[in-house]
Structure 1
Amino acid sequence: MITSSGRSTIRSTVVVLATAALAVAGTVTVVARTTTAEAAGSVLAASSVEDEGADCPVPSGSSTSTSRLPDPFRKIDGTRITSKADWRCRRAETRELAERTIYGQKPAKPATVTGTVSSSSITVNVSDQGRSSSFSASVQLPSGSGPFPAVVVLGSLGADTSTIRSAGVAIINYDPFAVGREGTPRNNKQGAFYSVYGSSSSTGLLMAWAWGVSRIIDVIEQSGGNILRADAMGVTGCSRYGKGAFVTGVFDQRIALTMPIESGSGGVGAFRAIASESGAQPLSSAYSEQPWLGDAFSSYTGNPNGLPVDTHQMVGMVAPRGLFIMDNPHVDWLGARSGSVAALGGAEVYKALGAGDNITYWSDVQDGTHCATRSEWRTPLQQHLQKFLLKTGNAAGTFRISSRKAGNLAEWRDWQTPTLTDGPTNPPTTPPTSGPTNPPTNPPTTPPTTAPTTPPPAGGGCSASVSVNQWTGGFVATVRVTAGSSPVNGWTVAMSLPSGVSVTNAWNANRSGNSGAVQFTNVSYNGSIPAGQSTEFGFQGTGTGTGLSPTCAGR
């Protein structure tokens, strides 16, 4: 049983007052402020507040144990959201359930936050509930004149800092142990967070580390923006710091770009999937190694199916902001297959919000060294910095899943992604809903091409359209199946593949044949399509995928 009486009184009060103050100034934007890049067609929605949904009431409710990933679009009361505007409060429900069962509570902004920002350091002083603490971080500026975007690097171990600085982005080296120290028992936690909220706080280290980054952003906001820009912040970390970077981006909507690396159990990897992934660090080990996760998670280390949420929903909580997940398929302990499952599940939230181009998952790497600086990630790192922090680029996100650790979302969900009715109106091409087991060896070099979309049939039946991401020697095709004026209760899509084209993998559909005349039929959960609605499946092929012309027959 999961119950809740609503958001924390302190958090709600702070956000309501902040919202009221913004309303007086005439600048409230419920979802996000508009940027130049967004006006150009991208959905780049970092917020001006830490938690947009803090004023949302979260009702009491219960969760049913399930081995499948929970439906991220289903509210606690059992109904599903139908509009993009509904996501704000659905996200708030997800947040509170995650705090209560996985991470522990992240308190609202302390009563007093002060500090300084210089070209070499940031100091942070906090005071709340009659207690105070302080910590600091070092700063490395790039060449040129500021103010600069900045990436917080947890533990000086994250994405390639030379690439970040050469792009014109500052580095903030943050020691998370100053805020939440490892090597301490759960009933005597130490660090700046626990000096304020008590050494016996049930909040785990990952959330304490995230709280510390949020306070750094508070100080940057107060500094006047002459050196660093609070509206262009990123966060990264690898291994345990990758766990912390992920949680930081999930729980502070001011962070425009989140970049966790090889975060393993307690990080991006879906808890339900980790429990069945051979060689992955067990949940009990991740819980007991350090007090990373909240104390309440002890009830779920042997029963992840009882969790009301899973990490695919944490991925979804980052949406529509930038998310670049980097994983290592060569070390079983890191659970990269479970990471791909969570990323694929969370990508469905991005897709529903019209922000599918804002998420990247990349585990197709050659070097198996833990936390290595990899050449495969250099270009996408530069592209993400340009797009989300510098606002000078618009590269699409991509999924490059290693065949060594490829997850299959179809095995983990029994829900479909809804078509939400409002919000961003320019959804870009989205990643496939299940990972190719044979990922491309080279990233796409040409933009996706889309066959002309045929209107739904006037009567019953269905229509099909296809979009293709092509690269040298291969492609991924995404096929949209749309019902006519009557519901469809099962469908078959047929297409003739050009000479030299062969299907190597398919997801969200069964297939008959790999070359020539190929047929795809629905799987158990996507055969029923309401009138006028759509579902999607995909496949990967060798050769050139241009000129595909699918036809659809419904039942």
Structure 2
Amino acid sequence: MRAGYVSLSVAAIAACLVSCQAADSSKTSSRASTAAACSLPALPDFAQLPVISELPNPFVGLNGKTIKSKKDWACRRAEIGAQAQAYELGTKPAAPERITAELQGENLIVSVADKGKTISFTAKITYPKTGKAPYPAVIGMGGSWLNNEELAKQGVAVIQFPNNDVAEQLNGSSRGKGKFFELYGADHSAGALIAWAWGVSRLIDGLEATPASRINASRLGITGCSRNGKGALVAGAFDERIKLTIPQESGSGGSASWRVSDDQKAAGQNVQTLAQIVTENVWFTDSFKRFGQSANRLPIDQHSIMGMVAPRGLLVIENTSMEWLGNRSAYTAVLGAREIWRAHGIETDFGFSQLGGHNHCQLPAAQVPEVNAFVQKFLLDAVKTDTAIFKSDQEFDLNKDRWINWKTPQLK
């Protein structure tokens, strides 16, 4: 972490996380998080973290016990969120003192005031020409790389969230820059991904407070591609008002496992690893670099962060032609993540589609019906829509038991 946060221990961070999430949800008209009723123990510092060679068991709580119910999952989810913020992402601040929003044409201007400072950002809304207001909407992290014409045909609006304005991500020199850091200080622990997640929550606050926006804030999805796909996943994980999350070709820090990517790299493949990504940009908290040579000391992995979306809808879109994204790594991580939906008895609310033969962030025509199915189910209330989608056009030499050596409980 940077100056001002160096002496803040992991235990201190963990102690504030539940109260922060509770405050965030208490100031919104619909709850952003179910963490308010959960109590978290202190998290160990880096030096006390054990080595875990496989994907960490998402069903074992910090007390060492296997969870048994869906109610237990709510608090287990809070634990994973605390671990993700403490070790990987930095802290997502609580809801600020005041949020206002104003619609100017198709632009929603969101203003946020906290601790004597005020910032604002503008989100452009593209309305469909069909359907009926208030419209369901997909928030695009920096834009949407889905087939937006198809979304419009279904009566779904697209909202462009200005993530680079909220937190810069030009390169390693971008740390502490952007409107989030104008509000909370350049030395805040947040990396860009969690800063964007905070901004998306403020956008949703603004939509809830502005009926003139003609957006149904109870029917929202989020998407993004590549680095913005990482951000879409984090935003969907940390705000339960988002009904559908679609990270597209998000790779390392998104749908790919840190551990499996290291394994791919060791096998001679050109895969982005934790050791490399922390030198490239400022997506993560500065102290995440401690795990560069020891990803297996992370108490979580990306399957855990994907699991935070459960029991809401998640469709992971990946590209087998992009080895850099960790194609085998992503496939392995989603196998682990899917078990969380399976434990809830809603396996088909989790989708995975991995197709190659196209350029990065260019959605193939074959994946458009899959996106449409999830949109219809989660944003258009067509709850009987078939979303049993789990496929890859590549067969991987994969020892599943090597990475997933735990049993999936049936949560009551």
TM-score normalised by structure 2 residue count: 0.90
CA contact (8 A) 1:7 1:57 kept: no
The structure 1 residue matched to 2:31, chosen from 43, 46, 49, is 49
Alignment of 1:172-251 (within 5 A): 172-183=159-170, 185=172, 188-224=175-211, 227-251=214-238
1:389 maps to 379
CA contact (8 A) 1:184 1:190 kept: no
RMSD: 2.1
For 2:270 and 2:77, the matched residues in 1 are separated by 32
Alignment of 1:71-470 (within 5 A): 71-117=57-103, 120-144=106-130, 145-183=132-170, 185=172, 188-224=175-211, 227-277=214-264, 278-363=269-354, 365-393=355-383, 394-405=385-396, 407-421=398-412
Q: Which runs of 4+ in 1 moved over 6 A?
A: none
CA contact (8 A) 1:98 1:309 kept: yes
Alignment-mate amino acid for residue 177 of structure 1: N
The verdict on how the C-alpha distance between 1:302 and 1:172 changes in structure 2, with shifts beyond 3 A counting, is same
Tell me the matched-pair count: 393
The verdict on how the C-alpha distance between 1:79 and 1:13 changes in structure 2, with shifts beyond 3 A counting, is closer
CA-to-aligned-CA distance 1:146-188 (integer Å, 9 cap, x gap)? 1100111122242121111111100101221100012365685
CA contact (8 A) 2:22 2:33 kept: no
Q: Is the helix fraction higher in 1 or 2?
A: 2
CA-to-aligned-CA distance 1:181-204 (integer Å, 9 cap, x gap)? 123656852111111111122211
CA contact (8 A) 2:128 2:153 kept: yes
CA contact (8 A) 1:146 1:226 kept: no
CA contact (8 A) 1:329 1:404 kept: no
CA contact (8 A) 2:56 2:301 kept: yes
Which one scores higher on RCO, CA 8 angstroms, separation ≥ 6? Answer: 2
The verdict on how the C-alpha distance between 1:402 and 1:146 changes in structure 2, with shifts beyond 3 A counting, is same
Alignment-mate amino acid for residue 123 of structure 1: I
CA-to-aligned-CA distance 1:388-440 (integer Å, 9 cap, x gap)? 0011242233110232557553220221101222xxxxxxxxxxxxxxxxxxx
Q: CA deviation at 1:272?
A: 0.7
For 1:390 and 1:354, the matched residues in 2 are separated by 22
Alignment-mate amino acid for residue 20 of structure 2: R
Greater C-alpha Rg: 1
* Identity across the alignment (%): 35
The verdict on how the C-alpha distance between 1:118 and 1:323 changes in structure 2, with shifts beyond 3 A counting, is farther
Alignment-mate amino acid for residue 210 of structure 1: A
Which residues of structure 1 form unaligned runs of 5+? Answer: 23-47, 422-555
CA-to-aligned-CA distance 1:298-344 (integer Å, 9 cap, x gap)? 11111110001111111111011111100011121111211111111
Q: Is the strand fraction higher in 1 or 2?
A: 1
CA-to-aligned-CA distance 1:507-537 (integer Å, 9 cap, x gap)? xxxxxxxxxxxxxxxxxxxxxxxxxxxxxxx
Which residues of structure 2 form unaligned runs of 5+? Answer: 1-8
For 1:119 and 1:409, the matched residues in 2 are separated by 52
